[in-house]
Structures are given as structure tokens and as C-alpha cells.
């Protein structure tokens, strides 16, 4: 069944992002298996719940990456300075950016810090964190990674840019989408620009499942909040208690999948997306993939996109890698 699209968009997000949300919900929920893109997990509550996940003892990505950033900041800065522009894609609360900026050599700073995030609340936190440590001009882009980077990289002549893509954000893209995404980054950047890529590594299944299905239920709330967002922004009336959170390690594909499992047969009516559908008991909506890498696979994906992997540092305790890359000149 279809409904006409809504006449007006809710006031709390940009019109364009809201209509994209409605179109994506309509398209992805109509697929088999049913899906919702993971970027929509990050409304204001979702971003706060993600920050809480980073504090959980079972989610070790954030602490591991922070250790690497603090330890290797001097080496990274000396490889990229002088720097015209520091760009972070999916900055979240900005704590890593602040730690990285704090590790720069005294008196040296990029001219500009550009922040890109699809979550307006994350963008505000990151901008506060960036301006607290630096007098550098901070520019915000409420946008997807690709369009935000294009705007941040700019048309005008400029010096070198360093792009931070941390938190294993790359892991949310399947292998062909990750190739396309990094290829897109390469198109927006200029030869000599640098990319610092943080990626979570393959580790034992038990550790991975605890990271995505924690005993406190914070990750479950993060996942279920997507239903609350559908209610608020697209006029649905979904009972979140009618679903349960499930995390699955798909070893063959090297990814943790998050799903929302329908506890009973139920009808979902989402007027803002113009759809209504019936879910069977046990049917799932796939909301996120988090691909886990081997160090050489990370080097492969950046090299295929036209970057040279100049250095790679690993946190053996938590299984995480930071890779510093430089965009090559085309032959
Ligand atoms: C996993 S969190 C990581 C946050 C931070 N980089 C960290 O390492 O803690 C992903 C961040 O990227 C943003 N995000 C997710 N998908 C996005 C997309 N396609 N375009 C722009 N931002 C996105 C989210 O709003 C969130 O702030």
C-alpha cells in the first residue's frame, strides 16, 4: 500500500536530508531482506547513545584509537605539516579531533578545520571540541561524507589537506561500497593530500558480539531508537517493544550485522515515506554492518582508490589499526 508523500517536512532537520530519509526508508524497507541505512541511527538521541557505547567496557574501538592517536600524533603531524586544512568526516563528539589537535607541535595549526557529519547534534559537539583547543576557523558541513568532503575540499587553490576518517566508519560500507567511497574521496582531494583511516580489525567472535550486544542494553537502545526516529520524523506509530535487538557475526563476510527482529506479525505504517508493510514474526530489519578488516586489506582498499599507505600503526590489545595515506599523482 502507498500513501502520498507528506506536504511538509519536520522542522528539526534540513528539508533535503528529510526527503532523502523518506526516500531511503521507502526503498530499503521494500528490499528483501528488509534494511535501513545505518547513517540514520544518528539523530540527536542516537548520537548520545553512540557516545555512551564508547564508554562501555565491551566497546574497545574508541579507547584503542585514542591510544594510537595520542601516541602517534607527533609522527602524523610531522608527516603532514604544513597543513592548510584538517577535515574530519563523521566526527561524532569531536573528542578524537581535540586529542589529535592537542598533539600538534606548538605554534603550528591548520588554517581551517572542516567538520562533516550527518548528525546535527554530533556536528555541534565536534565544533565545540575543535574550537576549545584551537583558534583555527571551524567550518561545519551537515552532509554525507561524500558531499561534505567535496564542499570542504573546495574549488579555490589551497595547500595540503589531511582527512580524518576515524571510528571504523569505513566498516559500515560493504567492500564494493568502500572502494567507491574511497574513490569518491580521491576525486574530491588533490595529489599530496593525506588521509588518516581508523579501522577495527578481525577478532574473536565473543569479543565482537559483546561490543555490539552489551549486557547493559545500550547498543540495543541505539538500534531501537531508529524506530523512534521513524515515528517522530515520518509519522509512523511503531511500538519499539515489538522488536528486539540482535547482533550476528557473519564470519564469511567478516562483518557484525545489527538487526531489529519483529517479535510478532505486525503492520508498519510509515506515512512520511508513503509505505505500509507487514512484518512476519521473526522477520528482521538489517540496520548496520560493521566490517572487520585485516591490516593488509586496509592497505588494499586505500591503494585501489589511488592512495599510498605510508604508515600503519596497530593497537594489539584491542585489535585496531590507524593507516596514514597520501593521494598519489595520476600517472
Ligand atoms: C561510528 S560514529 C564515529 C564517530 C567518531 N568518528 C568516533 O570515532 O568516535 C559515526 C559518525 O559518523 C556520522 N555518520 C554516519 N554515517 C554518515 C554518513 N554517511 N555521512 C556523514 N556522516 C555520517 C554519524 O552521525 C556519527 O557521528
* HEC readout, 143-162: CCHHHHHHHHHCCCCCCCEE
Q: What is the pLDDT of residue 11?
A: 29
d(CA 281, ligand 1 centre) in Å:
32
Give the position of cell 526527503.
Answer: 19
Q: Which secondary structure element, helix H or strand E, spans residue 68, and what is its range? A: helix 61-80
- What number does the ligand 1 atom closest to the CA of 198 have? 8
Q: Which residues of the chain have pLDDT under 50?
A: 1-13
d(CA 330, ligand 1 centre) in Å:
30
Q: What is the pLDDT of residue 14?
A: 60
d(CA 179, ligand 1 centre) in Å:
18
- What number does the ligand 1 atom closest to the CA of 172 have? 16
Rounded Cα–Cα distance for residues 171 and 214 (Å): 19
Q: What is the pLDDT of residue 222?
A: 99
Q: Report in angstroms the alpha-carbon separations of 330 from 99, 158, 191, 226, 302.
A: 33, 19, 8, 42, 15
Q: What is the pLDDT of residue 106?
A: 84
Mutate to test the pocket of ligand 1, among 92, 127, 152, 199 (most ligand atoms within 8 A of CB): 92
Rounded Cα–Cα distance for residues 322 and 200 (Å): 9
Backbone angles phi, psi at 184, to 5 degrees: -65, -45
pTM of the model: 0.94
Q: What is the pLDDT of residue 13?
A: 47
Rounded Cα–Cα distance for residues 318 and 131 (Å): 30
**Cell numbers of 289, please?**
554492518
Domain 1-232+293-331 CATH (choose: 3.40.50.150, 1.10.760.10, 3.60.20.10, 3.40.1650.10): 3.40.50.150
Query: Measuring from each residue's beta carbon to the nearest atom of ligand 1, which residues come in under 6 Å?
Result: 39, 42, 47, 50, 54, 62, 90-92, 96, 116-119, 122, 144-145, 166-167, 169
Mutate to test the pocket of ligand 1, among 91, 169, 219, 289 (most ligand atoms within 8 A of CB): 169
Rounded Cα–Cα distance for residues 310 and 72 (Å): 14
Q: What is the pLDDT of residue 218?
A: 99
CB 79 within 8 A of CB 310: yes
pLDDT per position as a tens digit, 86-123: 999 999 999 999 999 999 988 788 989 999 999 999 99
CB atoms within 10 A of CB 99: 17
pLDDT per position as a tens digit, 130-150: 887 767 899 999 999 999 999
Amino acid at each position: 500500500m502507498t500513501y502520498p508523500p507528506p506536504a511538509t517536512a519536520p522542522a528539526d532537520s534540513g528539508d533535503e536530508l528529510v526527503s532523502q530519509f523518506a526516500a531511503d526508508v521507502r526503498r530499503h524497507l521494500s528490499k528483501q531482506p528488509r534494511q535501513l541505512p545505518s547513517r540514520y541511527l544518528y539523530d540527536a538521541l542516537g548520537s548520545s547513545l553512540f557516545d555512551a557505547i564508547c564508554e562501555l567496557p565491551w566497546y574497545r574501538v574508541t579507547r584503542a584509537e585514542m591510544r594510537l592517536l595520542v601516541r602517534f600524533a607527533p609522527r602524523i603531524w610531522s608527516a603532514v605539516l604544513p597543513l592548510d586544512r584538517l577535515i574530519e568526516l563523521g566526527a561524532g563528539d569531536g573528542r578524537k579531533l581535540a586529542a589529535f589537535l592537542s598533539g600538534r607541535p606548538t605554534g603550528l595549526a591548520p588554517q581551517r578545520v572542516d567538520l562533516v557529519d550527518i548528525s546535527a547534534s554530533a556536528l555541534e559537539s565536534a565544533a565545540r571540541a575543535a574550537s576549545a583547543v584551537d583558534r583555527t576557523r571551524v567550518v561545519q558541513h551537515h552532509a554525507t561524507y561524500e558531499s561534505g568532503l567535496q564542499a570542504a575540499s573546495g574549488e579555490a587553490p589551497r595547500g595540503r589537506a589531511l582527512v580524518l576518517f576515524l571510528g571504523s566508519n569505513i566498516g559500515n560500507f560493504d567492500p564494493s561500497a568502500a572502494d567507491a567511497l574511497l574513490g569518491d574521496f580521491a576525486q574530491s582531494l588533490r595529489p599530496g593530500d593525506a588521509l588518516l583511516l581508523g579501522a577495527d580489525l578481525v577478532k574473536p567472535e565473543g569479543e565482537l558480539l559483546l561490543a555490539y550486544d552489551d549486557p547493559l542494553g545500550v547498543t540495543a537502545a541505539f538500534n531501537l531508537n531508529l524506530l523512534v526516529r521513524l515515528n517522530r520524523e515520518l509519522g509512523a506509530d511503531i511500538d519499539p517493544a515489538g522488536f528486539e535487538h540482535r547482533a550476528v557475526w557473519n564470519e564469511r563476510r567478516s562483518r557484525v550485522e545489527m538487526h531489529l527482529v519483529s517479535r510478532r506479525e505486525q503492520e508498519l505504517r510509515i506515512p512520511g515515506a508513503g509505505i505500509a508493510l507487514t512484518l512476519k514474526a521473526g522477520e528482521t530489519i538489517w540496520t548496520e554492518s560493521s566490517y572487520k578488516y585485516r591490516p593488509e586489506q586496509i592497505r588494499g582498499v586505500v591503494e585501489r582508490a589511488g592512495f599510498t599507505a605510508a604508515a600503519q600503526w596497530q593497537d594489539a590489545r584491542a585489535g585496531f589499526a590507524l593507516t596514514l595515506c597520501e593521494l598519489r599523482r595520476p600517472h
